[in-house]
A and B are shown apart, each in its own frame.
Chain A
Amino acid sequence: MERVISGNEAVAYGAMLSRVQVVSAYPISPQTTIVETLSDFCASGRLKADFVKVESEHSAMACIVGAASAGARVFTATSAQGLALMHEVLHWAAGARLPIVIVNVNRAMAAPWTMWCDQSDSLAQRDTGWLQFYCEDNQEVLDSIIMAYRISEKVLLPAMVCLDGFILSHTYEQVEIPGIEEVDRYLPSYVAQLKLDVDDPHNFHSAMPPDVYMEQRVKFQEAMEEAKGVAKRVDEEFGRAFGRRYGIMEEYFAEDADVLLVTSGTITGTARGVVDDYRKKGEKVGLLKMKMFRPFPTEDVRRVLQKAKKVAVVDRNISFGATGIFAQEIRSVLHRHGEGTSVFGFIAGLGGRDVTPSVLQQIVEITKGKEAPSGDVVWIGAKK
């Protein structure tokens, strides 16, 4: 069924079609309409889930950690300060190896107060052991949630699906909403491999002394590595079932690019148009869309980057005192192998400032005009 829905409604449909059993959430802009739509779905009986209206995001995450430990499929959504408040529990959920899926509607971090989009909230959680996926449009949001449950339940790691606040969350787009029977075939009901059971009692997450803790961490990292292949297979199967595919990243005119833009989130959609314009003029500009950020698809990214002369990474985030976070990751991928590719790092669109085609053209022109970047961080559009 095709409908014109907002990004947040696409999230709610994704959760409903995944037949989540326990939802726990706390309202925060711009995530709020997810909570409202899921409340409607629960109230009308379209979604048979227990929606627990908790007193904080910390409790929202703790609640679904508990429910997942009891073997239920669970869901929550949040933004910015809410995700930051969950931080401690994010570590716990991953260490507990629970296949939880959440949505983060990307919003810049305070202070000062801001409601608008950037990725500093979710990228600050990059070391918590969660899979992270960044979406370009509302269709990808809905589809990614369903796929995330498949991946998470296979590798036993939690997953975070991210969409740009307001730019997607409150924008209406045409979305194909799959039928529940189709989704049921693709994503069967969840049977937990490990769960609390009075007939098979275990002591979950008891203290581990130094002689065993590290081995647990090795397995954790192995699961992260495994997730790359699992995500590719899950995407292929999704393509066969629903006729849409995304990959863990996407190359767009990347093969022969002199300047390769690297983007994530909605900036990708704008960048496609910019690449098209350059190609019409005969200029070899290409694009690499990053969908999966954790685990970082190192080998795949390296394969693409090695072919490019110059790489321009557009970061809607910054690690203060260092650089844009995608740029950091891209540089580390190349650095270890001593490649000759120059990586230009650009910071744009913080706190919801528009990243228009002309912003991206400016980035391409700066990259074209220099042999090597003048610094690790170039601010685009910041007033003097």
Chain B
Amino acid sequence: MRYELPKEELLYSGHIGCPGCGASLAMRYALQALGKKTMVVIPACCWSTVAGFFPSSSLKVPILHCLFETGAISASGVKKGLVARGIEDVQVMAWAGDGGTFDIGLQSLSGCAERNDDIIYVCYDNEAYMNTGIQRSSATPIMSWTSTTPNPAFNDTPKKDIMEILAAHRIPYAATVSPAYPEDFLEKMRKAKNIRGLRFIHILSSCPPGWKFSSENSLKISRLAVETKTFPLYEIENGRKYTLTHMPKGLPVGEYLKLQGRFSHLGPEQIRAIQRNVDEEWGFLMEKVRRKGKTGARDGVRRKRIQDPGIRIQGKR
């Protein structure tokens, strides 16, 4: 079945993202789903430049650049400022990289998540500090090369599980998306748009220069990340209800790794070790997906708190 993307384009052609940049495609899809009544708040990341140097802009919606560690709270502040002025129908979307989310921005993101501030927080995760030249972050996968985990001292810790951290805040909605699955991407963004409170979207954002692959393979690699179960597509409602939105084929993880220069040093034994990690994480995720029916009561409690008009919600007076 052919999937029709919305006609309205809010990302201009001619932006300065690298060829094959997953994050540029992701912005296009995100804004197609959210529409014109959206403001984008961008902490330091690749998109600080992709959005355009002064005086140009690559988006047809307002952009507010902000400090590296303030993506979430800056977006919250914008939302609260708008609501204070009586403007309630504008979505404010924080758009941050993995460094700004997993590392330096985690504290303010946790604060916003705990207060359930009414923003959409998107992390486009390209698994290292790509804007500064491929330095390791806590989103960098184990055994990966980066410019700060050079041969032979490759990255020796597994990727931080950001989705579980956000789920632990019991936010109303968290979802993983991939630019290789636009239908799933847009559906989740649309679902997020219709929920109040903090909505977290985690994008695995393929990066040709950072992951060391040829730009025409960007979507192929994004697809392999999903189909090898390295990056499953799922959503978490109210921090409890896990739903898998795409059943991966379960291809060997080596298929995904072998196309990327950052993993070119791996031998068969190391690839088997990564496969074991992937299988184990997949098993944990499936346990959570299977138990979803048993947690309905807790879901109900959280929803009541969000929707009860008798209780004052931050950002909504």
A contact residues vs B (CB 8 Å cutoff)? 21-22, 24, 48-50, 52-56, 58-59, 62-72, 74, 88-89, 92, 196-198, 200-209, 212
Contact = CB atoms under 8 A, between A and B. Distances in A.
The 9 A-B residue pairs with the shortest CB-CB distance, nearest first, are: A66-B77, A70-B81, A67-B81, A203-B57, A55-B111, A72-B81, A62-B70, A21-B84, A63-B77
B153 interface: no
B81 A59 contact: no
A67 B80 contact: yes
A157 to B, nearest CB: 18
B108 A198 contact: no
Given A55-B107, A62-B70, A196-B39, A21 B85 contact: yes
Given A50-B317, A66-B64, A206 B84 contact: no
A207 B54 contact: yes
Contacts of A62: 66-67, 70, 73-74, 77, 108
A48 B110 CA distance: 26
Contact of A55 (B41, B51, B108): B108
Given A59-B107, A67-B84, A207-B54, 9 more contacts: A56-B107, A58-B70, A62-B108, A64-B77, A67-B81, A70-B81, A198-B62, A198-B90, A201-B59
B61 interface: yes
Contacts of B78: 66-67, 69-70, 196
26 contacts: A49-B84, A52-B77, A52-B80, A54-B111, A62-B77, A63-B76, A63-B77, A66-B75, A66-B80, A70-B78, A70-B82, A70-B84, A89-B67, A89-B70, A196-B78, A198-B39, A198-B90, A201-B61, A203-B56, A203-B57, A203-B62, A203-B65, A204-B64, A206-B63, A207-B49, A208-B54
Contacts of B60: 201
Interface of B: 36-39, 41, 48-49, 51-57, 59-67, 69-70, 73-85, 87, 90, 107-108, 110-111, 114-115, 314-315, 317
Chain B interface helix/strand/loop/mixed: mixed
B62 A204 contact: yes
Contacts of B63: 201-204, 206
A63 B85 contact: no
Nearest to A201: B62
A205 B49 CA distance: 11
Contact of A52 (B70, B75, B76, B82): B76
Contacts, number: 163
B314 to A, nearest CB: 7
Nearest to A70: B81
Nearest to A200: B62
Nearest to A208: B54
Contact of A206 (B54, B69, B87): B54
Given A53-B115, A63-B74, A202-B57, A197 B62 contact: yes
Contacts of A88: 67
Contacts of A58: 69-70, 108
Contact of B36 (A198, A206, A208): A198
A207 B70 contact: no
Contacts of B38: 198
B66 A206 contact: no
B114 to A, nearest CB: 8
Contacts of B48: 206-207
Contacts of B62: 196-198, 200-204
Contacts of A203: 51-52, 54-57, 59, 62-63, 65
